Structure 1
Amino acid sequence: MSDLPISLGDVLASFEALWSPRIVTRVNDYDVRVAKVEGEHIWHAHDNTDEFFLVLDGRLLISLREATGERTVTLSRGEVFTVPKGVEHKPSAPDGARILMFEPTGTPSTGDRHEEIPAHIEVTTGH
């Protein structure tokens, strides 16, 4: 962990990979991660933790499978949303986005339950 300020812009400029979160810093037992996203992720769920999203740039859609049915939340720059633990969700960014996520260290990007993982999705707990 750095004892100096961290530029999110510099971190995002340091890589090109999509759906491949980078750990910017840690807060207690949580990672603060940034990612470049475009296209669709996969349906997945985190059984033991909520997942926090902040859109830094672009537009992020999060489809949710809830007890009342499916719905999609649309987030624009500066907006946040938390997916409750256990809820199946699928992030997507048709035009690309830059996002920040806050989740417990070691949380896999594809959750605890997920669909088959296509080649464009990296299974990681962050870089």
Structure 2
Amino acid sequence: MKIIRSRSFTAECPWGALDIANMRGITTRVHWTNQPYRWHINDGEEVFAVLDGRVEMRYRENGIEHSTILETGDVFHASVGTEHVAHPVGEARILVVESEGSV
């Protein structure tokens, strides 16, 4: 059993993670960041839940770039093939559920 106090988690570098669980190849991790990630496409689906802070999520559909602000409690689902990048607004803590080894 684990209890995770995500608001107190801070990594040594942006996008540092605290591993919570690996359920048959699906990982659940808490990330801390204050810097953007990079444009990427995951190997499978990804669920991205903002636990603390705000994140500007940019994503491309049919070659057109979109942007939305995710507030604390918001969830972003990247389906297979969705190119996206997260830009935190200040510090953010994010719960990410994805296939093990995904970028």
TM-score range, shorter chain: 0.7 to 0.9
Give the structure 2 partner of residue 121 of structure 1: none
* Percent pairwise identity: 29
Q: Is the 8 A contact 1:52 1:82 kept in 2?
A: yes
Q: How many residues align?
A: 103
Give the structure 2 partner of residue 118 of structure 1: none
Indicate the structure (1 or 2) with the bigger Cα radius of gyration: 1
Q: Deviations over 1:44-87 (max 9, x none)?
A: 112x3111101110001110111161111211111111011111
Give the structure 1 partner of residue 93 of structure 2: 98
CA drift at 1:10: 8.0
Give the structure 2 partner of residue 73 of structure 1: 68
CA drift at 1:39: 2.5
In the alignment, does 2:48 pair up with 1:37? no
**Structure 1 residues without counterparts, runs of 5 or longer:** 109-127
Q: TM-score, structure 2 length as denominator?
A: 0.86
Q: 1:9 to 1:87 in 2, by over 3 A?
A: closer
Q: 1:68 to 1:9 in 2, by over 3 A?
A: closer
Q: TM-score, structure 1 length as denominator?
A: 0.71
- Let me know the Cα RMSD of the aligned residues: 1.9
**Structure 2 residues without counterparts, runs of 5 or longer:** none
